[in-house]
Structure 1
């Protein structure tokens, strides 16, 4: 089974009229409510520093989106922990408030696509400076909003010495606890049970104190998924929590797989696809800033039995693919070992 890509992709492209989004619009969080689709997308201009922001677009059909403003809804805060970038958001809703996790850096990453894979710029500091500053480490924070336009930054969620991204909250409490997926790049080696970065899971009583040890949830097993990370907030189904995740192969190509987690104990993987659901195929998926090919979902919403998967293409465009949710769940169960 493959996700069906929208023929009109990309659904959002860089906007030359706004300097903060003239080069990049990608990796959108997504939410569907009261007949409207909302995308909170990562955006950046063509500046040398490459400051990264988050913009908002709205649609009534899930395919044709209109920007709500010529300004970002969230930007780096000067001289703060996220002064360089706010990016790759994921969003869930608890009662009347939205909770958005977002990746950040203390300094802008520079034109990272011109460097070797996964290398960003970092200013010089002496050896006493925290590692997060010396290496311009990517980490994750939480922001809260009621209208998707005005956000309150709550602060860092994961340990400052970890390069920890792809942090995703479950959309409801499970047995009285909040759960979070994350991908700490440092958690590799024999003591961690994985040779490459993988998906970990942990719980919390209050959304900010994640002090309990993490558990290794899922690691790469197929050739297309040497390194893996979570993509979209889990979707509750009768068969389990449906999670879309990405696998990166030895050539740095990004593809998409899926798994089902136990409803009452999401630390248990019930089913996991052997084959990927989506891979880079089109010119904008293979020939953007990342030349090796990237499809990277960060938002998925359900309307009836229709699943809309919103993804970034090669770190430069926003796209959408669809399928029947019931058919995808059946496929994950059948394609599992």
Structure 2
């Protein structure tokens, strides 16, 4: 197993928390006899290996390899991901049960390279889980739904373009679902000289009447600021939750460094009636990677300086935040509400 990380999280009707852990399984030795191998699920329900000539692959990033000579970026993964529900005590600090029987794994051709990065929101009496489904067909966002927060069923594909961070708000506004999204591409248009914003990936907004068909919002959401490189690349983190001041959003900023970069967690408060209005944001990181936490796993480390927050739960005078640490393990952080 390469890692168990980036967990979606929600509170169950019995008061316990449950995290939906991304399990990434990889080959111990992906390179054999001058070929690099990728794991793929096929529609017979089996897992197979695809071999690519090493001379045509860039393997600098341990999480993936790029295939050269196609005229555009073509990537294959060195691991395949699926989702495992793990039930925790109400404070998130002790394990209660591992629900292998409720695991979410690839089940159709748009998921042959895996199901990644679940984000769970409770809206009314229903739980909604967005996931990233990966295949040669498309890099899409898929939706799973549940009536009890634990048993999830595949609903549909909801975003057909490459979008890594779709987060459904935990509540509706004027009867509509809202979501943060982050469409990706290789081209971004420049802001005017002197603008407070930096061109690049940003956190957009969309609305829906049924959580299946989404319309992009006319107004932008949270954008990278030109005054710092710490958030030169950014994307969603935890599903927005409603506070007395407005919608609280925890998101990630990436400072360029070597191949992967430095991932930190930041926060913003959005207007309760119009989330495109950013009321306040924290300039300092809320959560940073902690080498002390991963020191016992030092022999397994393959990326560093990465914390990726993906779940949040209200615990009275504080929030419980679930994060992935170093693309390797799950981290639980208790943050006092006074921090915001």
Q: TM-score range by the shorter chain?
A: 0.7 to 0.9
Distance 1:97 1:194, change over 3 A: same
SS at 1:144 equivalent: strand
What's the counterpart of residue 53 of structure 1?
A: 82
Measured in 2, the distance between the counterparts of 1:41 and 1:99 equals 16
Higher RCO (C-alpha 8 Å, min separation 6): 1
Query: For the pair shown, which has the larger CA radius of gyration, 1 or 2?
Result: 2
SS at 1:266 equivalent: coil
Question: Whose strand fraction is larger, Structure 1's or Structure 2's?
Answer: 2
What's the counterpart of residue 320 of structure 2?
A: 308
TM-score (norm 1): 0.76
Question: Aligned runs of 1:175-324 on 2, under 5 Å?
Answer: 175-186=174-185, 189-190=188-189, 194-213=198-217, 215-221=219-225, 222-251=228-257, 252-282=261-291, 290-324=302-336
State the number of aligned residues: 276
Distance 1:278 1:304, change over 3 A: same
Measured in 2, the distance between the counterparts of 1:58 and 1:318 equals 13
TM-score (norm 2): 0.75
Structure 2, unaligned stretches of length 5 or more?
28-37, 40-78, 192-196
Deviates more, 1:204-213 or 1:24-33: 204-213
RMSD: 2.2
Matched, 1:139 2:178: no
Measured in 2, the distance between the counterparts of 1:194 and 1:175 equals 32
Shift of 1:54: 0.5
SS at 2:339 equivalent: helix
What's the counterpart of residue 158 of structure 2?
A: 157
**8 A Cα contact 1:258 1:273, kept in partner:** yes
What is the CA deviation profile of residues 113-172 of structure 1, one whole-angstrom value per residue up to 9, with x for unaligned ones? xxxxxxxxxxxxxxxxxxx63xxx5321100112344322112111x3x32111000111
Matched, 1:36 2:16: yes
Measured in 2, the distance between the counterparts of 1:191 and 1:205 equals 33
Matched, 1:64 2:70: no
Measured in 1, the distance between the counterparts of 2:218 and 2:187 equals 13
